[in-house]
Amino acid sequence: MKWINAIKDYEHYLKIERGLAQNSIINYSKDVEKLVSYLDDKSIDISPLSINKDTIQEFIYDASKHINARSQSRLISGLRSFFSYLVFEDYRTTNPLDHIESPKIGRKLPDTLSISDIDRLISAIDLTKCYNNIYIGERNRAILETLYSCGLRVSELINLKLSDLFFEEGFVKVTGKGNKERFVPIGPNTQKYINIWMTERAKIDIAETFKDTLFLNHRGQQLTRAMIFTIIKQLAKAINLNKTISPHTFRHSFASHLLENGADLRAIQLMLGHESITTTEIYMHVDRSHLKEVLLKHHPRT
């Protein structure tokens, strides 16, 4: 089996069997492609079925000179997944990554914004900016309000549809990783800003493919992930925010602020769409200041 065929089969498996998003599939494939590039550079002629632990360890050692421990851990995880697939499909009997340990890394705490930061970012949006008689600022305000009030991933935001909005019930239907659907509460304030955007959206000549897509550009096409990043970075620059932020920062802030104000961790897990509560537990490390208050208020022996 050639590497190119193995990678294509693996990508098909990730898409069909595991239901991963295209961006995740690309990232998994890149891990394997880095190994293939290394083998080519070293003129090592070996197939994915016969490569052994020693060769992979040499590759990881070489890669470690150029990447940090977290990226190295991610690379090992990606390769382990690829060879697990080959074992699963009976192409191999063993996974050469089974006894290769990932480097010890500290748990990275997510960056968050204060409520004041979020207010300043939203206030910095130019509501007078107009393209083809469409006030794009109204869209940008609705985007930031939705990111923060619903805790969405950027991919979930750009794929949000009109048919996903259940404002009377106070929920939006979100399609997350692996095409798993969940319902997330949406407050009246965010609904108000989305409805204002809907008035502007009605002026757009929308491409047939995107008739049901909520957030569009002025040409009637779906927004890209990169465009959401650009909007946020421009706003951060406008207010001289001394932080590196992204759409995901709003999701982190959503979870952290809920936890700080006494929300149940399990409820936050459901709203974020985390498969495991251990993923959600990282927010317990962001701000523990409220925990003392909870103890003093609720423990019978304090």
Q: Which residue numbers are catalytic?
A: 153, 177, 248, 251, 274, 283
Query: Distance between CA 102 and CA 78 in Å, rounded?
Result: 11
State the distance between the two ends of the chain, measured CA to CA, in whole angstroms: 67
Strand order in the sheet with 181-185: 165-166, 171-175, 181-185
Q: How far from 262 is each of 109, 178, 199, CA to CA, in Å?
A: 19, 30, 36
3-state helix, strand, coil in the chain (%, to 5): 55, 5, 35
134 Cβ neighbours under 8 A, 6+ residues apart: 200, 201, 203, 204, 218
Q: Which 8-state DSSP code applies to residue 285? A: G
Residue type, 168: E
DSSP state of 164: G
Taking the CA atoms of the chain, what radius of gyration do you get in angstroms? 23
Tally of CA atoms within 13 A in the half-sphere of 202 that contains its CB: 6
**Contact call for residues 48 and 8 (beta carbons, < 8 A):** no
Contact criterion met (CB below 8 Å) for 155 and 225: yes
Dihedral angle sign, alpha carbons of residues 146, 151, 153, 154: positive
